[in-house]
Structures are given as C-alpha cells and as structure tokens.
Chains A and B, each alone.
Chain A
Amino acid sequence: MMELVCPAGTPAALRAAVDAGAHTIYCGFADETNARNFPGLNFNRAELAEGVAYARRRGAKVLVAINTFPRAGAEDIWHRAVADAEAAGAHAAILADLGLLAYAAEHHPNLRRHLSVQAAAANPDAINFYANTFGVRRVVLPRVLTVAEITAINREIDVETEVFVFGGLCVMAEGRCSLSSYITGKSPNMNGVCSPPSHVQYVESRGELSAKLGGYTIQRNGKDAPAPYPTLCKGCFSSQDKVGHVFEDPSSLDASDLIPALAEAGVTALKIEGRQRSRAYVAQVVRSFRAAVEAVDKGLPVPPGTLASLTEGQAATTGAYRKTWR
C-alpha cells in the first residue's frame, strides 16, 4: 500500500491523523526552523516526544520538518533542531538546506534524511546528487512535475519519492520563491512563512471584501463569494488589458484521482499538505485518503471525493501533474 504522509500542526492534529489511519505524520518545531511557522502552531520538544510515542504505539511514524534555510550566524538553532528530532525518536528529518544536510549527515548519520520539497530537486541529476552526497533516502518532489516526468525520474534514481496529493498548491518552485519577503519582509526560506497573517488585512466596503497583504490588494471578492486566504501568488491582478489570476487560481490541489497513476509511476508516499489546518480537517482528509490508497492497493477505483468543501476557494485542481497546467 502507498504510504500516507499526513500533516500535524498541533499534538491534537497528530493524534487525529494517527487515529484516522495515517501511516506517517510530519510536523515541526514551533520556531523558524520549519516552513509552517504560524502563530499558535507546532511542537515543543516534549510535545514531539509524546507525539512520537503516540504514533509508535499505533504503528505510525513521525517525520520532523526542519526545512527552512538556516540564518547566517544562527545555524546552531537548526543544528539543535536536528539533534532534538533524533533524540525524540523521529523516524526522519525533512531537510532542504545544503549546509544543514551536510551537518546532519556528518553529526547524525543514523537519523534518516528526507529531502524537503523546499530543496526543489526537480530532476534525476539533482536527486542523485542529494542521495550520493548526503545519503538522502527519500525526496519530496516539487509540485512542478507531470506524472510522466515523475515516472521518468523514478526510473533514473534509487531513492524513494513522495509527492503531494492534497492541499495548498505552490505555483512556484518551492524554496526558490521570495515573493512573500518582497512584499512583507517574511519569506518561506528564511522565516518559514508565506504571505504571513501578521501582514494580512481584510477591508470590507460597499459589499466587497478586500484582502490586503503588506498594504497591497491581493483579492477582492463579492460579499458572499468564497474568500480565499490572500496568498500572494493566488491573487487577482491586472497586466496590460488582462485582469485575473495571473499566476494561479485560488484553488488547491486534489490529485486523489491520480493515485493509481502515481502508484504506477513508482511513487512511494503520498503527502497531504495542511499543517496550518485544524484537527477536524486532518481527520477528514486522512480518512478519505486512507480509503483511497486501500482501494488502489486492492485494484479498485478511487472512491469519489468528498473533500471539496475543505479546499481553498472551494475549487480543486490536479495542478502540474497534468501538462496542460503549464
């Protein structure tokens, strides 16, 4: 059966994911070392150890995402995170930075290393480089590849691949985007946040809701229309005579229908995005995807989706997995 890798922004979400059938949970510390550094989220050291124990008792694994790029002069914060993840009994650390990978490989050789999507390893040369140089065992593929490309990559590499199947969708190559820091000063790479809520402002006037980021209008919606979070690259903008979602529509990824194709492509694990979402969300999505991977494992069709209401803008896309997206 394909491995289901599920998000947990809180210990309660971790338990909900395990109980709902997650094979693996990924989470991070409550600081700038992880790429979902949002207010009120994430784990302290004791919570991580308890979470690992809870998961272990039920046969599930815990991965710790230490996937921002260490700040110059403060690398020890990231080094400690790697050491503490190992001490807590994590199954693996999810890393993105070259220097941190080198550090982990040298100082924590027994801690399994996964390559974060933030490293944007988008072809076999890059993946083999990380595998050969730092002993990376699994690569989370960037959300810029088609199923055919994933198939081709798997033929040329020896390590496992993990791909996103549900949740927020990055339009840009992950870990290589500074749109957010250009507008807000806070970036995924440096601060673990994109379009951070601290810079979001909602302004309602004349029946319209404007969502602003760093003072710039990102979205404007009718009073009762769905209101997506003002993620920078999913905003509505104008360019010459065109007005619209220049970069991406405010939809989120749902590749559940592609699970059989992804299995065929040699993918080991399916990843669900959403460490910033509630335990209720996690439980429902995990339950649905567990049923899907079990069905696919038995050669049955994927059960029809029930997750539309949970997606951003309540619209879903298969994203880059289909070539027409480009």
Chain B
Amino acid sequence: MQLTVGPNMYFWDAAIWRDFYLRLADEAPVDTVVLGELVCSKRLPFYQHHFQEVIDRLRAAGKTVAMTSLALITLKRERKLTAELVDMGLEIEVNDLSTLPLIPEGQPFSVGPLVNVYNEGTLRWLAARGADRICLPPELPLSSIAILAAASPVPVEAWSWGRLPLAVSSRCYHARLNERSKDNCQFICNADPDGRAVDTLDGDSFLAINGIQTLSASCANAAHQLDGLRQAGVSALRLSPQFRGFTRLCQMFRDLIDGRIDADTLSANALPDAPGGRYADGFLTGHAGVDWSAEVKRAGLG
C-alpha cells in the first residue's frame, strides 16, 4: 500500500508552502506528491516560483511528482494556464475534465478525486485514454471501490485523510463572507490555513469553506477502514495536506500500514492537528459521509 499526498487545497504564504514541501521531501515516507493549485488560479502567482526547487527536491528524495489541474476552469486565463501546465511535461492530475483534451494522446496522466469516476465504464474509458493512476471520488462506498479496483487496469487510490472536498462553485465564499467581490477578494482565504468552519444555527460543526470550495467540517480519516481498503484492492491512500503536523501524520499512516501502530493510536495522536478536530469515514461504510465508524462502534457496543 502506497501513500499519495494530494494537492494542498488551501492558500498559505509562499515561504510556508515551500518549507512544507521541502520537509515532506526530506522526512515524509510517501510515494507520490501532487503539487499545484487546485482551488483558485489567483493564488498561483504567489508561490509558483518555488515549484522547480520543490519538484527537484521531491524527485531527489525518490518521490513521484504530479501537477494538479484546477478544479473548475472557466476563464480564458485559466484555460491558458492549464495548457501551460500540460506543456511543463510533468504528469498532470486531471481534476477538471476540460484538461483532458489538452493532453496529447499517448502521454500518461492521472485522474484526481474531483473527476466523476463512479463506474467501470468510465474508469476503463479513462484508462484507455492514458490514465495511469485514478483517485476515486470521496463519496464512493467501499463496495463500489472494490468493484472499480477489481475492474481497473491501473492503480486505484482512495481519499484517506483530510477535510473532504465536497463541492466547487464559481462563487467565492471567503469573499462573500467578507462582503468582498471575487475580483477584489484581497486573498482573505489566506487567513484560514485549513479552511473556515461553517456551523449550524444550533452550533453543530457542519462544513468548511475554502475560497470557491466547500469542504467537510470533519477531517476524513480512513485509518479504521484500512483492512477494507486493502481487501478492496486499493493500492494507495491519499492524504490531503493540513497546516500542522502533516509530516508526522504521513509517518503515522506509514506505521499503520506496516502494522507498527493501530488505528485507534493513529486517530488519538493525530486528532490535535486534524482540521475541524473531529473525524468522519462515513462515505466508506456509514449511512452518511459525516458518520465516524469508531464512534458508531463504541456507541453500539458500549
């Protein structure tokens, strides 16, 4: 079982961004790292000058590097940017299907969790087109993951850690909450390095926003589902970057996979740094995505 680090979904200061990835290169026992900007094209100019250094360092550490496309490409500038990204020659992780026609036939690419791969037909079509790694949509249940992994000619990955990317919009919620227009957002999303919590009127934690993206309030944690994911034929767990303790988290997942720690230990030790401070793994085996199996188990047995 491999570990893949997904693209950082949040907007961090360039220096912090650089240090995060250099440390990841030097210390984190992960196999693949997906770089680049997923959420907002306006953020890129702030940190893209660090790309080459980070790519070189990750590669020197023996890690596979890919570049994500944007999650939602609408503007002409964004289409141009995507074409330039493809020209870089790195493996592209497609997270908006409009990236696909820009990738020459025969050039391998990977498919990210924001592309709708729900069934064998779609998966096989993408693999035939050149996909060499497919991260399945986070809302798929374990039963579907098993069917897809069995049908897949290429490695299949499952969302295993981090706030769940639930939706994208053309509207920027960070700007809206600060009564700013999207064009004059003044990069306010920078204030919330793990997203901004959205609660219900009863005070229940519910969702989180990150620019145009809507995330779960809870942090997805598939540690308790590791056996199920293994049996399903998943070949890599996807860990999504968070502001604090991420290198340590990668190590904990490696230890879990290798049997050095158990899921309860991982969950307890990782909780203080987990965005939202609570877990969910309900998409895999629960009734709803927000459910947390360890909690249900305790409530049911206790």
Contact of A129 among B100, B166, B287 (CB under 8 A): B100
Docked complex Cα distance between A216 and B217 (Å): 13
CB distance from A122 to the nearest CB of B (A): 5
Contact of A179 among B102, B202, B207 (CB under 8 A): B207
Docked complex Cα distance between A16 and B34 (Å): 52
- CB closest residue in chain B, given A245: B176
Which chain A residues lie closer than 8 Å to B290 at the CB level? 182-183, 214
A184 at the interface (CB under 8 A from B): yes
Interchain CB contact under 8 A, A126 and B98: yes
Given contacts A121-B98, A217-B200, A246-B176, is CB(A176)–CB(B288) below 8 Å?
no
Which chain B residues lie closer than 8 Å to A152 at the CB level? 76
Which chain A residues lie closer than 8 Å to B137 at the CB level? 178, 189
Contact of B170 among A144, A177, A185 (CB under 8 A): A144
Q: How many A-B residue pairs have C-beta atoms within 8 angstroms? Tell me.
A: 215
- CB closest residue in chain B, given A172: B167
Which chain B residues lie closer than 8 Å to A190 at the CB level? 118, 139
- CB closest residue in chain A, given B118: A69
CB distance from B157 to the nearest CB of A (A): 16
Docked complex Cα distance between A239 and B178 (Å): 11
Contact of A216 among B73, B168, B200 (CB under 8 A): B200
CB distance from B138 to the nearest CB of A (A): 7
Docked complex Cα distance between A324 and B216 (Å): 26
Interchain CB contact under 8 A, B144 and A72: yes
B123 at the interface (CB under 8 A from A): yes
Q: Which of A46-54, A99-107, A271-279 contacts B (4 or more CB under 8 A)?
A: A99-107
Docked complex Cα distance between A171 and B144 (Å): 28
Interchain CB contact under 8 A, B177 and A129: no
Q: Mark B158-197, 1 if CB is under 8 A from A, else 0.
A: 0000001011111111011100011100000000000011
A73 at the interface (CB under 8 A from B): yes
Q: Mark A154-181, 1 if CB is under 8 A from B, else 0.
A: 0000000000000000011101111101
Docked complex Cα distance between A217 and B202 (Å): 7
Cβ < 8 Å to A, chain B residues 268-284:
280, 282-283
Interchain CB contact under 8 A, B98 and A173: no
- The size class of the interface chain A forms with chain B is 35 or more
B22 at the interface (CB under 8 A from A): no
Q: List 17 A-B contacts (CB under 8 A).
A: A71-B119, A72-B144, A119-B97, A124-B79, A125-B101, A129-B98, A149-B74, A173-B167, A176-B167, A181-B289, A182-B207, A189-B139, A237-B207, A238-B203, A246-B173, A247-B169, A326-B171
Contact of B201 among A122, A183, A217 (CB under 8 A): A217
Docked complex Cα distance between A172 and B72 (Å): 11
Interchain CB contact under 8 A, B166 and A72: no
A93 at the interface (CB under 8 A from B): no
A98 at the interface (CB under 8 A from B): yes
- CB closest residue in chain A, given B213: A172
B114 at the interface (CB under 8 A from A): yes
Contact of A239 among B120, B121, B166, B197 (CB under 8 A): B197
Which chain B residues lie closer than 8 Å to A320 at the CB level? 170-171
Docked complex Cα distance between A284 and B53 (Å): 62
Interchain CB contact under 8 A, B123 and A236: no
Docked complex Cα distance between A227 and B167 (Å): 25
Interface positions of A (Cβ within 8 A of B): 69-73, 75, 96-100, 102-103, 119-126, 128-129, 132, 144-145, 149, 152, 171-173, 175-179, 181-185, 187, 189-190, 214, 216-218, 220, 233, 235-240, 242-243, 246-248, 320, 324-326
Interchain CB contact under 8 A, A177 and B120: no
CB distance from B131 to the nearest CB of A (A): 11
Docked complex Cα distance between A136 and B82 (Å): 24
Interface positions of B (Cβ within 8 A of A): 72-74, 76, 78-79, 82, 96-102, 114, 116, 118-126, 137-140, 143-144, 147-148, 151, 164, 166-173, 175-177, 181-183, 196-204, 206-207, 209, 214, 216, 280, 282-283, 286-290
- CB closest residue in chain A, given B123: A99
Interchain CB contact under 8 A, B119 and A72: yes
Interchain CB contact under 8 A, B289 and A98: no
CB distance from B126 to the nearest CB of A (A): 7
Main secondary structure, interface of B, reads: mixed
Report the 3 A-B pairs with minimum CB-CB distance, sorted nearest first: A99-B121, A99-B122, A126-B98
Interchain CB contact under 8 A, B171 and A182: no
Which chain A residues lie closer than 8 Å to B203 at the CB level? 238
Which chain A residues lie closer than 8 Å to B100 at the CB level? 129
Which chain A residues lie closer than 8 Å to B96 at the CB level? 126
Interchain CB contact under 8 A, A122 and B72: yes
Which chain B residues lie closer than 8 Å to A178 at the CB level? 137-139, 164, 166-167, 283, 289
Interchain CB contact under 8 A, A326 and B181: yes
Docked complex Cα distance between A261 and B66 (Å): 42
Interchain CB contact under 8 A, A183 and B72: no
Interchain CB contact under 8 A, B97 and A129: yes
- CB closest residue in chain B, given A214: B288
Which chain A residues lie closer than 8 Å to B201 at the CB level? 217, 220, 236-238, 243
Given contacts A125-B98, A246-B198, A246-B209, is CB(A71)–CB(B144) below 8 Å?
yes
Docked complex Cα distance between A96 and B182 (Å): 29
Which chain A residues lie closer than 8 Å to B282 at the CB level? 182, 185
Docked complex Cα distance between A81 and B58 (Å): 48
- CB closest residue in chain B, given A242: B177
CB distance from B290 to the nearest CB of A (A): 6
Docked complex Cα distance between A168 and B6 (Å): 34
Interchain CB contact under 8 A, A99 and B124: yes
CB distance from B279 to the nearest CB of A (A): 13
Docked complex Cα distance between A100 and B196 (Å): 37
Which chain B residues lie closer than 8 Å to A177 at the CB level? 166-167, 214
Q: Contacts A149-B74, A173-B72, A185-B288 given; 6 further ones with Cβ under 8 A?
A: A69-B118, A73-B120, A75-B119, A178-B289, A182-B288, A189-B139
